[in-house]
Structure 1
Amino acid sequence: MAHNHQQRPSGPPPPEPYEGPPALPLECPPGDDYPIELFSLLESEEMMRKHGFVMEPLTMADLKGKARCKDCNQSMFNLTKDLRRQQKLRRANPIPPPPKRSWDPFPTILMPKGKGRYDSTECAVKCSSHPGTMDRATRCFTCCHVHVTEAKPCVNSHVHELRNYAPGELIRIHQYHYTPAVHTKSLEFRAAVAIDCEMGTAISGDSELIRLTAIDYLTGEVLINNLVQPDQHMLHLNTKFSGVTFLQLNEAKRKKTSLRGKAGAREALWRFVGPHTALVGHGLNNDLRALKWIHPTVIDSYMVEHRIVQTKKKADKEAAEAAAAATTETSAEDLAEQILDLELSPQIESQPKQKRTKGTGDLALKTLMKKYINRDIQTQGNKGHDSFEDALAARDLVHWMVLRRLAEKEALAV
């Protein structure tokens, strides 16, 4: 299926080879201060949970919630998550608001058991889909002939039918795995390793790992920089963000230079990463989710900066409240004058909020690298990111953060 995708004329141009700074050994001050400061940035389990890290394997109920409807592609979890609230609402209000005289029955999910038999359960969401396919020439659906950018699902049903998954398939695709304490093929566990992943979208709608980079934090040695053969058939590779094309993926498979799925990527990492190895990155919860990996030891430049920003906001708020409390009360004359000024001033219409480009927020890696290190990254536009560039940038950003903290402590000691 995927072998025709690289020939699409409307697809993004192929990415260009990385031409940024090389991964050189870090210049660290002598003594123990640097490693102590580096490892002081390790995140607690509580903070990791708050930032969306998965900290234990999925239960069987969690895994069943990953199963998707074969028509609308919604997961069982999304179909049923609002069911209890809606059931409670109906119990409290047996008669719906007019003009309805009675509530519609809840939609049904059919779950295949084999040999044409099904279990069924209620859910909260109707099945809405396009029964046709997308015409690649016109980018319109063959069922309703509406362009993909404007087309709403043209068929609605009260019945969902889950895909018929092979035994163990949901576990293979979705289960999370702890870092092993010992690995039979371990070359040598490193003190710290910087990583970055790129993801595409499977036909199922799931996010799939397609590229992995790992760099030794201290030495700059490139440990892994490989494409990953996805575990599912792919809808698209998100090339404008991932930088990966089907042509590259197929070529890597032919040359046997790609890693075999998420399991192969984890195995490659576990040759260098033990439970006490610090994983370094930016938004590491996304990378670990892509790898289906549970690792307790992380230094995340996003979380470090987020904490600084939140601390400053809290301090600014407290200072503003203190200043307001200390301000003398406004006199009646001053208040009347302020109201008159407002009435006489020209009214400015509020402007619509601009949609922000992905990866350009105040805490984005691209933004922080420019702000603190004056390095431009992710400059290839719709040719996509480079996981090597991003892993190296995250490493260099954390290094800068450690040096900043050491300098602040030294200044306080003077």
Structure 2
Amino acid sequence: CNPAVPSPHGSGGVLPEDPAGSAAGSTAGCGRAKGLSFLARRKEEDCSCAKSSSGISPTLSLKACTLAGMASKTTSTIMPKRIAHVPSLQSTSLQRPVIPTEFGAKVPTNIRQRYLNLFIDECLKFCSSSQEAFDKALSEEKVAYERSTSRNIYLNVAVNTLKKLRSLVPNSPTKTSNKKVVSHEAVLGGKLAAKTSFTLNRSGSLRAEDLTGAALYRRLKEYLMSEEQLKENGYPMPHPEKPGRAVLFTAEEKKTTDSSCRICCRCGTEYMVSASGTCIRKEECVHHWGRLRKQRVPGGWETHYSCCSGAVGSPGCQVAKQHVHDGRKESLDGFVKTFEKLPTTDGYPGIYALDCEMCYTKQGLELTRVTVINSDLKVVYDTFVKPDTKVVDYNTRFSGVTEEDLENTSITLRDVQAVLLNMFSADTILIGHSLESDLFALKLIHGTVVDTAIVFPHRLGLPYKRALRTLMADYLKRIIQDNVEGHDSSEDARACMELMVWKIKEDAKVKR
């Protein structure tokens, strides 16, 4: 076997060993490369033994093999073409519904669309058809939107709706684990933690017993309103010279020059009354029962009523039989003040949350219901109250009190004051939301107060205050005051107590 490879050009010589010759051979055409590849493979197969015995230079063999490998790699191969993904007919058969864009809406359209898509994803898991899933998701989103008066409330309602839909999915996977539950303290302490004498206590954590009784009382004292705050927020204060009379520091007492002329607190109309408080001329009160809310619109902000989205100055959306006025801060006589009592054995004067409901009478707003709960969220006093004068509007939309509720009631304001003076002392902590309004209705003077409207202030400061239902939605993720029949005083009082317990826990985390 001759190791010399014939030249493809017919020269009969061997391959040159200089680099220039190698370069020339490597740059030959495709036909030459195929010939070299064939000859090199024959050389490797038939003459492997001759390389060592014939005395041919190893360098020549290496170059021949190298050229053969380079030639083999220059052969062309056919690559398969890439095929683009084609969507299935199932995903393109039905278009998902889209929330129409509405400028200045109470909930942004993109947020509504996001939750609608989540509702659809869950409904597709248990509905028989895509159209059925779309219809159910649309109805659920519509209910959530109609129940909400703001963006935050919508988010909470939507989250609860999403949880409800997920619970309807059949055979939903539940995470089960047979692993033994180990506490964080056990992990820190190690295997010998149970056998040794040391313990691990977190300085900032609160146990259940730290938020009851005297322990809760001590923590709530940090949130008590000062005397300056009581005056600034319009709380009734004792008159320095006239016992049984209150004084108000935020507004001057109304001059009694013309007691027959009043201004309606709902529509702002001036109207005349007789000496007994009866309207001289019967006329309807057309008003907006909602509050003014600012809404962002293209180019700026607009102010609308929350009840009907009407602009400022638009005709009212509610019609009442006659005009009414507040009158609570004008009649400052008949007030009682909580008094000092001997301390109990445990040094715990008590913690209560209270809320009152009122209706319009000839003399203004008067008490119709009062509810008091203790720190364990249990109702300790709840009663309807008969107003002193004739009722002209039961204010059921907000009070929840109807004519039937007061029909057989004989409890008067004086009876309620006697019960509360026996239940409270001057050191008892009373919790409420804008509690000055309730104290005016009760004609009660009390200075040991925790007001959730002050603990959770409005970002714009006074006189703006955040609504109780907004605080519950933002911090405790719960919807309250959602009954079309009016507020429930026990629900509102319980909400105030729960907010303060939550606040204490959160502040304890910061202090750790």
Task: Give the drift of 1:194.
Answer: 0.5
1:178 paired residue among 337, 342, 350: 337
Q: Which residue of 2 aligns with 1:51?
A: 233
Alpha-carbon displacement from aligned partner over 1:255-311 (angstroms, at most 9, x marks no partner):
x5xx312x222211122210000001111111111111110100111111118x469
1:243 to 391, 397, 400: 400
One-letter code of the match for 2:397? Answer: K
Q: CA deviation at 1:27?
A: 3.9
Deviation (angstroms), 1:202: 1.1
Distance 1:46 1:366, change over 3 A: same
Counterpart residue identity of residue 210, structure 2: P
In 1, Cα distance between equivalents of 2:381 and 2:225? 24
Task: Give the match for residue 409 of structure 1.
Answer: 511
Aligned partner letter, 1:407: K
- Report the secondary structure of 1:29's partner residue: helix
Match of 2:388 among 226, 231, 253: 231
* Matched letter for residue 385 of structure 1: H
- In 1, Cα distance between the equivalents of 2:262 and 2:211? 55
Q: Find the residue that maps to 1:368 and give its secondary structure.
A: helix
Match of 2:219 among 37, 55, 59: 37
- Is the contact made by 2:337 and 2:446 (CA closer than 8 Å) also made in structure 1? yes
Percent same amino acid among aligned pairs? 29
Alignment match, 1:202: 361
**Partner amino acid, structure 2, of 1:374:** K
* 2:283 and 2:322 in contact (8 A); partners too: no
Structure 2 counterpart of 1:368, one-letter code: L
Q: Select 1:287's aligned residue among 430, 434, 438.
A: 438
Q: 1:292 to 1:260 in 2, by over 3 A?
A: same
1:274–1:68 distance in 2 versus 1, CA, 3 Å: farther
Query: What residue in structure 2 maps to residue 303 of structure 1?
Result: 454
Partner in structure 2 of residue 394 of structure 1: 496
Name the SS of the counterpart of 2:228 in structure 1. helix
Higher relative contact order (CA 8 A, sep 6+): 1
Q: What is the aligned-residue RMSD (CA, Å)? A: 4.3
Cα deviation, residue 131, structure 1: 3.5
Q: Which whole-Å CA distance do the structure 2 matches of 1:178 and 1:151 have between them?
A: 37
Q: Distance in 2 between matches of 1:215 and 1:38?
A: 16
Letter aligned with residue 479 of structure 2: D
> What amino acid is the match of 1:260?
T
The CA deviation string for residues 325-383 of structure 1, in whole angstroms up to 9 with x for no partner, is xxxxxxxxxxxxxxxxxxxxxxxxxxxxxxxxxxxx871110000111111100013x1
Given that 1:201 and 1:235 are in contact with CA atoms closer than 8 Å, whether structure 2 keeps it comes out as: yes
TM-score (norm 2): 0.42
Q: Is the 8 A contact 1:305 1:363 kept in 2?
A: yes
How far does the alpha carbon of each residue in 1:68-98 deviate from its partner, in whole angstroms, 9 at most, with x for none?
Answer: 85643469xxxxxxxxxxxxxxxxxxxxxxx
1:33 and 1:237, CA in 2 relative to 1: closer, same or farther beyond 3 A? Answer: same
SS of 2:385's equivalent?
strand
Superposition deviation, residue 152 in structure 1: 12
Other structure's SS at 1:39 match:
helix
Given residue 457 of structure 2, which amino acid in structure 1 is its aligned partner? Answer: H
**Counterpart-to-counterpart distance in 2, 1:135 and 1:201:** 15
One-letter amino acid of the structure 1 residue matched with residue 420 of structure 2: L
Structure 2 regions of 5+ residues with no counterpart? 1-206, 265-274, 286-316, 324-328
The TM-score with structure 1 as length reference comes to 0.51
Q: Secondary structure of 1:274's match?
A: coil
Separation in 2 of the partners of 1:61 and 1:283?
18
C-alpha distance in 2 between matches for 1:399 and 1:284:
18
Q: Partner letter of residue 240 of structure 1?
A: R
Deviation at 1:148, TM superposition (A): 9.8
Query: What are the within-5 Å matches in structure 2 for residues 336-351 of structure 1?
Result: none
Shift of 1:51: 0.8
Partner SS, residue 379 of structure 1: coil
Match of 2:471 among 362, 368, 372: 368
SS at match of 1:43: coil
Q: In 2 relative to 1, CA 173–226 (structure 1 residues): closer, same or farther, beyond 3 Å?
A: farther
What pairs up with 1:154-173 in 2 under 5 angstroms? none
Name the counterpart of 1:133.
Answer: 282
The whole-number CA distance in structure 1 between the counterparts of 2:257 and 2:403 is 25
Question: CA separation in 2, counterparts of 1:65 and 1:285?
Answer: 18
**What are the equivalent positions in structure 2 for 1:108-147 lying under 5 Å apart?**
131-134=280-283
CA contact (8 A) 1:41 1:304 kept: yes
Aligned partner letter, 2:385: V
Contact 1:275-1:297 at 8 Å conserved across structures:
yes
CA contact (8 A) 2:358 2:365 kept: yes
Number of aligned positions between the proteins: 247
Using the TM superposition, name which of 50-59 and 62-71 deviates more. 62-71
- Counterpart of 2:475, as a letter, is Y
Q: Could you tell me whether the CA contact under 8 Å between 1:71 and 1:131 is conserved in 2?
A: no
Q: Aligned partner of 1:231: which letter?
A: D
In the other structure, the counterpart of 2:45 is none
Residue in structure 1 matching 2:421, options 270, 273, 282: 270
